[in-house]
Structure 1
Amino acid sequence: MPSDSSSLHISPSSSPSPSPNSNTHISPITNSPSPIIPSSNTTQSIPPKHTMVTRLKVGVVKPKVLPSLTVSTHAHSFVPTCFSEAMKYCHWQQAMIEEYNALIKNQTWTLIPPNPLHHLIGYKWIFRIKMNPDGTISRYKARLVAQGYKQQYGLDFDQTFSPIIKPAKIRIVLTLATTYDWDIRQLDVKNTFLNGKLSEIVHLKQSLGFSHSDFPSDHCLLQRSLYGLKQAPRPWFQRVTEFLLHT
């Protein structure tokens, strides 16, 4: 019986074999020739497409200055960590006197007789050395900070608010100023938080070494927002907002 032509089968031996001198290779899966990879000696470097003049090309090199990690033992470079250490140096004593006089001039608190029912919070002196751009000492800064971690919610603080600014807002302002040819000015407010009027009742201990000579056991009833209080940024933001809206 003659076989059907559709059932014809081609044996593997009948398929043409590649020539041994051929540059193509038959893949066992796809049966498609793989591309020829040129040798390394035929590659050429691609020339740069730009003619930008960089600082390195013209020889402008700024040396990298690494900060010194050595601890200075000089008296004027020493930063105290507590009140007793600062009292050993005249320049830190003067810095604390200037800070205390600024608090009194700004009417930061009023003295009241002690009461065991008052929730009394403590304080801490913070010391910093302000430097000039050339690395020399500008001034010594001492700051009296309230221990805000001892405050109790609903008793001596309620609402807190920390004003922050994002880089995107700064870019928008600078873009508008450039577009409309506005003048840009920057200012620094000295003792920023002390300008905010405190609405909550907060009692603070008198500072050691700066207590009132006639009323050494009295407590300080804060009238201004002192650094360290949980609600300190909020009164300042409210006052500066009122000032800007009414000017």
Structure 2
Amino acid sequence: MSSALDSVSPSPPPSLPPSPAPVLSPHLAPLRRSSRHAGPPAKLRDYVCSSVSSTQSSALLPGLTKGTRYPLTNFVSYHRYTPAHHSFTAQISADVEPDSYSAAAAHPQWQDAMDSELQALTANGTWSLVPLPRGKTLIGCRWVFKIKRHSDGSVERYKARLVAKGFTQLEGIDY
């Protein structure tokens, strides 16, 4: 005996809309570790710090690395360099470039460098003094100091540059 149910072919199940892929929150995602070698960049391989060795720098300059989490002097050693190289490095490190006008104004060589820069700017007609239009703001400037050296490490000259703080400009307002 066959029933009516046997003659009816089963209908396919109703199709459901595709469900979106499950979204994992960042804190539940598995942590993937890189298999890449994590070493210092190649450009820093020949980096030399200004003190002669880590033991001498900590004894001579106790406050120099204060606040530095991983001072470079703990990882760099000069034991393979000649005494001539030690003295060359010490000579280079002895000259300090000032980071502000007040620090530079105390030294005559930096005063001369600033005077020559101002004379060069005036001779080239770099600027002219005009009244400031109403509603406009001034762009500040600052001094940048650099010691230029010969190939043997001796000082060629002290260079001072007066540069505009262009990063403070707003389009349509300052330019």
Q: TM-score range by the shorter chain?
A: 0.3 to 0.5
TM-score, normalised via structure 1 length = 0.34
In the superposition, the TM-score normalised over structure 2's length comes to: 0.47
Q: Considering Cα pairs closer than 8 Å and 6+ residues apart, tell me whether 1 or 2 has the greater RCO.
A: 1
